Amino acid sequence: MKDRTLLMIPGPIEFEPEVLQALGAPTSSHVAPEFIEVFGQALERMRKVWLCPSGQPFVVAGSGMLALEMAVVNLIEPGDKALVLSTGVFGDRYADLLRRYRAEVKLLRAPLGETIPLQQVEEALAKHQYKLMTITHVDTSTGVRTDAKSLGAIASKYDTLTVLDGVCSVAGEELRQEEWGIDVALTASQKAIGVPPGLALLVASPRAIEAWRRRKTPVGNYYADWKNWLPIMSAYEARKASYFATPPVNLICALNVSLERILGEGMEARFARHQRFKRAFQEALRVLGLKQVPTDSRHAAATLTAPYYPSGITGSEFLPKVKAAGVTLAGGLHPDIKDRYFRIGHMGAETAGNLLATIGAIEAGLEKCGYQFELGAGVSAAQRILRS
């Protein structure tokens, strides 16, 4: 009997065997020639995954929150104005983080399940000169995806630096960092990048690096200071050893394997696959009668789905029944609706088989909760999309 359930949450995700094999290999020295080569390759491959050929990659031991903090602390000085676009919990968290570093923060918060109109963003940027604008590409608490391409263009028009929280989007949602004018795009290893938790990953544009170099005050966080990390990244990419803090050797080896597999699939094909999986889930939930937190399918994420429970069904009743059917899902996160919805992750190396198994488990959970529907309808609807 299988001794674990299929993990279909918004991170950590299911990891490929080759990635786990690299993670479990004997640990080498961080200055061993073979590791120096692996680290250098990983940095080069990040530019290709982020589609930012002129960007500076950073790989640092830590969580996605460290990546968020690295972007802020290196670009913001006390008194700088920052515009935060929030579509959920993590946008609000960015506002708190910026205030911690004494930025003057203007928060634009979208109604639950919606995005902020582009016109409203442009009006805010035209009214005041902001040094920085933060964008949550996909907010993990709501499943809402923002129009990062258009937002990047608007920010460029007003000479505002852009930081994209891509924790739940990079390597899943379409992202063309350089073409879209995004100055920092960041993520965490355990999401669509497909590596167990522990790596904060970001790519900074030349404009972001130049803004950091021009700052007048010291960076307010020693560990996150690019001054300490840029020489390390440059050295390893030049295939030389360097040291500031011991890198997580096995995680970086696993990262290099995963990046190689991502690029082997091809970014265009990967973006298209995630969109196809999104459509399959949306159609399955539609025929099952489940509504979603995003109010418009056009701004629903391709990396996760956030459906509401049917009337009369609770998470404490439903989620264990889905798990008994072999699939682990995530409960709600947004405080306003935490007990009213659940979340399904479908990013990275997920397969059509995993999607169909997940929908089947959802149907099993709904049936055991007494929900009335045509058994198999969701699976059939998803299959039609996947075949097309």
Residues contacting residue 156 through CB under 8 Å, at least 6 positions apart? 162, 181
Is the confidence at residue 331, as pLDDT, over 70? yes
Say if strands 199-204 and 56-61 run parallel, antiparallel, or are unpaired. Answer: antiparallel
What's the rounded mean pLDDT across residues 232-259?
98
Residues in a beta bridge with 342: 331
pLDDT at 2 over 70: no
Is the alpha carbon torsion for 269, 270, 274, 275 positive or negative?
Answer: negative
Model confidence pLDDT, tens digit, residues 151-183: 999 999 999 999 999 999 999 999 999 999 999
Query: What gap in Å lies between CA 49 and CA 55, rounded to an integer?
Result: 11
Within the chain, strands assigned E span 6-7, 56-61, 81-86, 104-109, 132-136, 138-139, 144-145, 161-165, 184-188, 199-204, 304-305, 327-328, 330-331, 342-345
Contact in structure between 203 and 57 (CB atoms under 8 Å) = yes
Residue 150, token pair as written in the block? 């258009």
Average pLDDT over residues 34-62: 98
User: Taken in order 270, 275, 279, 281, is the CA torsion positive or negative?
Assistant: positive
Kindly tell me if the per-residue pLDDT of 84 is higher than 80. yes
* Mean pLDDT score of the chain: 97
Buried-state track 230-243, b at ≥16 Cβ within 10 A, e below 16 = bebbebbbeeeebe
Strand partners, 134: 84, 163
Same fold across 6-11+267-387 and 17-265: no
| Mean pLDDT, range 91-115, rounded to an integer | 97
User: How is the chain split into domains, by residue range?
Assistant: 6-11+267-387, 17-265
Residue 241 has pLDDT above 90, yes or no: yes
pLDDT of residue 1: 36
pLDDT at 4 over 90: no
- For residue 29, pLDDT over 80 is answered with yes
- Using a cut of 0.75, tell me whether the model's pTM lies above it: yes
- Integer Cα distance of 85 and 107 in angstroms: 6
Task: Give the pLDDT confidence score for residue 205 in this predicted structure.
Answer: 98
Question: Given this model, what pLDDT does residue 137 score?
Answer: 98
Give me the mean pLDDT over the 251-259 stretch.
98
Architecture of domain 6-11+267-387: Alpha-Beta Complex (3.90)
Are the C-beta atoms of 349 and 7 separated by less than 8 Å? no
Question: Under CATH, to which class is 17-265 assigned?
Answer: alpha beta
Other Cβ atoms less than 10 A from the Cβ of 310: the count is 17
Task: Supply angle C-alpha 265, 266, 270, rounded to 5.
Answer: 75
Residue 5: exposed, middle, or buried by beta-carbon count in 10 A (0-12, 13-18, 19+)? Answer: middle
CA-to-CA distance for 31 and 162, rounded, in angstroms?
Answer: 35
What pLDDT is recorded for position 125? Answer: 98
